[in-house]
């Protein structure tokens, strides 16, 4: 096994030699038109030396971050607005509570405020209905 | 010592230690060095890219992209790091090209053109002994260059690039692994498969 190593290395070196013998002339005797185009590409690259453009990965990451934020907001909004699953809605409220700046007393009386809001909204709609009826009757 | 004497001494000191060149001159020197470096590697890079992508126009585009990236991002790196960095950038550009081409062809025709490289448990594979029935040293003797080029073009890209990095550029397995962004075990596997295919084709 150990005797094979020098032989193998020699064989590899020989293979490298032969590969170069075949391929080096191919790149040395390049079509002059292609050689010119390569030289032009090189000059163009040199003009951009050190002018690093923002990497696509960073842009992609920023885009992904933005998309994730929008998705999170959308999910939270749907959880907050839709009362299909009370457990999830509660989670959204908890999150909002954690993020809000109102004093804790406000949240202690939250149920009362919600009830009050519902009551006043109900009264307003009743009032509007009544007003609508009155207008209709006036027009009539 | 008078004020005039001290001025003369400081002037003498200034004459002995030349001031560092201004930044714009440093930039110009760097630019010339990068120009020289790219001029030495561009033709070989083009041939490698041509074998990998299969045509002249795409190969030119790939090499231009690699040169731009090296110039933009790595021109401030030490010059001795440029060769291997360039190989890595070039390899990434080739890989990107194949990804784009695969996506484009899938979208346009819904036909998969065949995998670029089969997914494999490379580290678990045994590396074949290259000094087997067909000795390595006889592999390329007495064959036409055109035939070798054709056989190389037939190889999967990673095998082809591993072979070229190792046996044309003369990089070590470790360096080839860096350029190909894979493990040394993967390079050995790619090489072993490339040699097996070349033996079969040639």
Please give the pLDDT value at position A134: 47
Residues of B in contact with A11 (CB under 8 A): 130-131, 135-137
**Closest partner residue to A11 among B31, B46, B131, by Cβ?**
B131
Tell me the CA end-to-end span of chain B in Å, nearest whole number.
85
Query: Using CA atoms, how far apart are residues B150 and A84, in angstroms rounded to an integer?
Result: 66
The pTM assigned to this predicted structure is: 0.61
Assess B188–A contact: CB distance below 8 Å, yes or no: no
Read off the pLDDT of residues B20-43 as tens digits, 9 standing for 90 and up.
Answer: 556 666 688 899 999 999 999 999
pLDDT tens per residue across span A19-74:
999 999 998 899 999 999 999 999 999 998 877 765 555 666 666 777 777 777 77
What are the C-alpha distances in Å from A67 to residues A57, A58, A72, A75, A139?
A: 15, 14, 9, 12, 53
Which residues contact residue B195 at a Cβ distance below 8 angstroms, ignoring those fewer than 6 apart? B128, B130, B136, B139, B163
Mean pLDDT on B111-129: 43
Which CA distances in Å does B68 have to A35, B34, B51, B81, B90? 17, 11, 21, 16, 10
Dist CA A19 CA B167 (whole Å): 6
Q: Which of B59, B61, B63 is nearest to B51 (CA)?
A: B59
DSSP B134-167: S-GGGTSTT--HHHHHHHHHHS-HHHHHHHHHHH
Q: Is B79 touching A (CB cutoff 8 A)? A: no
Looking at residue B14, what is its pLDDT?
A: 55
Q: What is the ipTM of this complex?
A: 0.72
């Amino acid at each position: 096994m150990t005797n094979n190593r020098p032989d193998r290395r020699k064989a590899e070196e020989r293979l490298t030699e032969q590969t170069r013998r075949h391929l080096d002339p191919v790149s040395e005797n390049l079509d002059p038109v292609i050689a010119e185009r390569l030289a032009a590409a090189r000059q163009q690259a040199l003009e951009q030396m050190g002018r690093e453009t923002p990497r696509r990965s960073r842009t992609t990451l920023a885009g992904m971050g933005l998309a994730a934020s929008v998705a999170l907001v959308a999910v939270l909004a749907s959880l907050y607005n839709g009362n299909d699953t009370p457990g999830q809605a509660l989670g959204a409220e908890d999150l909002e509570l954690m993020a809000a700046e109102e004093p804790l007393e406000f949240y202690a009386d939250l149920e009362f405020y919600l009830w009050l809001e519902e009551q006043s909204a109900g009264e307003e709609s009743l009032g509007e209905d009544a007003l609508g009826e009155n207008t209709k009757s006036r027009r009539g | 010592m008078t004020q005039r004497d001290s001025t003369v001494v400081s002037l003498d000191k200034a004459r002995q230690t030349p001031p560092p060149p201004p930044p714009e001159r440093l930039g110009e020197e760097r630019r010339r060095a990068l120009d020289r470096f790219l001029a030495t590697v561009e033709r070989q890079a083009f041939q490698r890219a041509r074998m990998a992508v299969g045509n002249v126009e795409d190969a030119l585009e790939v090499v231009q992209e690699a040169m731009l990236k090296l110039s933009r991002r790595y021109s401030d790196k030490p010059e001795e790091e440029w060769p291997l960095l360039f190989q890595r950038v070039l390899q990434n550009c080739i890989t990107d090209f194949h990804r784009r081409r695969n996506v484009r062809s899938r979208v346009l025709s819904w036909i998969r053109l065949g995998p670029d490289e089969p997914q494999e448990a490379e580290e678990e594979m045994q590396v074949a002994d290259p000094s087997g029935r067909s000795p390595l040293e006889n592999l390329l003797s007495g064959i036409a260059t055109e035939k070798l080029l054709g056989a190389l073009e037939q190889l999967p890209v990673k095998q082809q690039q591993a072979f070229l990095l190792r046996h044309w550029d003369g990089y070590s397995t470790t360096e080839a692994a860096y350029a190909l962004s894979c493990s040394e075990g993967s390079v050995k596997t790619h090489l072993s498969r490339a040699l097996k295919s070349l033996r079969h084709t040639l």
